[in-house]
Amino acid sequence: MKKIKLYIAASIDGYIAGQSGDMDWLIEFPFTPKENYQHDNFTETVDTVLMGGRTYLEIITMPIVWPYNDKKTYIVTRNTMLKNNKGYQYITKDVVGTVARLKEGDGKDIWLVGGGELIALLLNNELIDEMIINYIPITLGTGTRLFQDCSKEYFWTLKEAKTFSENVHQVSYCINK
């Protein structure tokens, strides 16, 4: 069975996107050959990415090359008009059931890229197995919260904590089940 792993950047005050949904604040902390926050090691453990529609739209407007070319991509969206010819799969109905079935598949794990609503939905339905959170030393004050509308209390075990250059702190947790 596959695991769902949330690998994400968050401000130290708990936001994953700015007030207008932007992720421009991350440009100051790019992945480089010298410092990639264990991203390369992480991406070797997954063969599938899962993200919300707003996260997808924000990523495609950033000045970067689509970073998930070698992964099967699922986009969760209410916007049934969101289409492209890139071969992505769209989940528009029964999100919880569809994601639970993805976990039952063979292969490597699933990377939950974001966003906030999708994280809350999957967390509330006990579908997230691990979290790797890169805390960026910035406060945004407002925007999209990392954990919004979580309806249950969960206990997590710290797997690892690291500090990188630019004072980025990475914490890894697995859920206690």
What letter represents residue 104's amino acid? E
State the virtual CA torsion across 6, 15, 98, 45 in degrees, nearest 10.
Answer: -20
Q: Is 139 exposed, middle or buried (0-12, 13-18, 19+ CB in 10 A)?
A: exposed
Whole-angstrom Cα distance, residue 13 to residue 129? 23
The per-residue pLDDT string of the chain (177 residues; one tens digit each, 9 = 90 and over) reads 999 999 999 999 999 999 888 888 887 877 766 777 888 899 999 999 999 988 888 877 777 777 788 899 999 998 766 666 577 899 989 999 999 999 999 999 999 999 999 999 999 999 999 999 999 999 999 999 999 888 888 899 999 999 998 899 999 999 997
Q: Cα separation of 121 and 4, whole Å?
A: 13
**Which pTM does this prediction carry?**
0.91
What 3-state class would DSSP assign to 126?
Answer: coil
